[in-house]
Copies of this chain bind each other. A is one copy, B any other.
Amino acid sequence: MAHVTLNFESDYLNQNEQVEIILPDKERGIPGETFYASGKKYKVLWLLHGTYGDATDWQRKTRIELFASEKDMIVVMPSGLNSDFVSWPKFAMGYDFPNFFVKELMPLVQNWFPASDKREDNFIAGLSMGGHGATQLGFAYPEKFAAIGCFSYPLLNYRARANGDALDGKLPEMSTRFANQVANYGTLEDFLKSGYNTWDVYFDAKKRKNLPEIHFYIGEDDFFWEAHCEMKKEMKRRRIKNVPITEYPGLHHEWRVWDMAVEDFIRKVDPETVGAGMKN
C-alpha cells in the first residue's frame, strides 16, 4: 500500500494536525496512467488511537497496512490527544475534535484523495479511548458510517457509575480525567446527557434503530471485562440480539488484541472485496 503522512492546519483544532493515511497500491505491471486515472473511489476505515497514543500508533504496533491491502481499503488515522475525541472549548483556543473530523478531515480525504463518501463504504473503529471515540462519532453521525468497531471499550453505564462515585473505574488516572471531563461539559447532568454517555444513546430503542452496526472486541483479562459483561447483560435484558462480539481468552488490554480485532473487523464489514494484497 502507499503511505501518506499529512500535516495540515485545522480551524476547529486551532493547530496543525498530523494524520497517517494508507492508500491503495498499484499492482505491479499495471500502467500508472490506467490505475491512477481510473476514477475509482475506495472504501475507508477511520481508525482512532487510544489514551497516550497518536496518529502513528496503529501503523507502528499492528499489521494494519497488511490487512488493508487485502481489501484495497483506505485507512485514515488522525491524532486526538487524550481528548476522548470530544470538544474542549476551555482548553487553549478551543480543541473541537468532532467538528474537525466531520467538517475538515472527512471532506479533505473524500475530495482530495480517491476515497468514497458513500455511507456503505465508510467504517469507523478505534481501540480503548478510540473505541469510545468511534462509538461517539458513529452514534452522532449515523448517516456517515456503515459500521463501528469498538475494541476494548464496552459501552459504560456512566449514570450508574456516577451515582456510585465510581466514574474512575479501575484506572488510577481516571479520577482526574473524569473530573476534568465533567467540568468540560459543565455539570454532571450535562455530561450524562451528552453523546459521551454512549450507554444511554444505545439503550434508547428509538435512537438505536438508526445507528450503524457496532462490533465489539475485547480480551477476557481486560480491566474492562466486568463492564463488558454488564453491557452484554443489559443487551440480553432488552433482547438485543445478533450484536457481533468477539472475546479473546488470555488477553488483556493490549496490542495483540487490537491487531486481531482490526483484521477481523475489516474482513467482516467488507467480506467480498479482494484487494491487491501486500506486496513483498
Contacts and interface: CB of A to CB of B under 8 A. Distances in A.
A32 B280 contact: no
Contact of A23 (B92, B107, B110, B112): B112
A280 B173 contact: no
Interface residues of A, number: 75
B280 A253 contact: yes
Interface string A29-45: 10111011100000000
Given A6-B3, A57-B16, A103-B33, A177 B93 contact: yes
A15 interface: yes
Contacts of A210: none
Contact of A173 (B8, B65, B93, B253): B93
A107 B7 contact: no
B62 A63 contact: yes
A104 interface: yes
Given A54-B15, A93-B177, A173-B93, A63 B259 contact: yes
A35 B110 CA distance: 12
Contacts of A14: 51-52, 82, 173
Q: Of residues A16, A28, A31, A88, which shows the largest number of chain B Cβ atoms within 10 Å of its Cβ?
A: A16
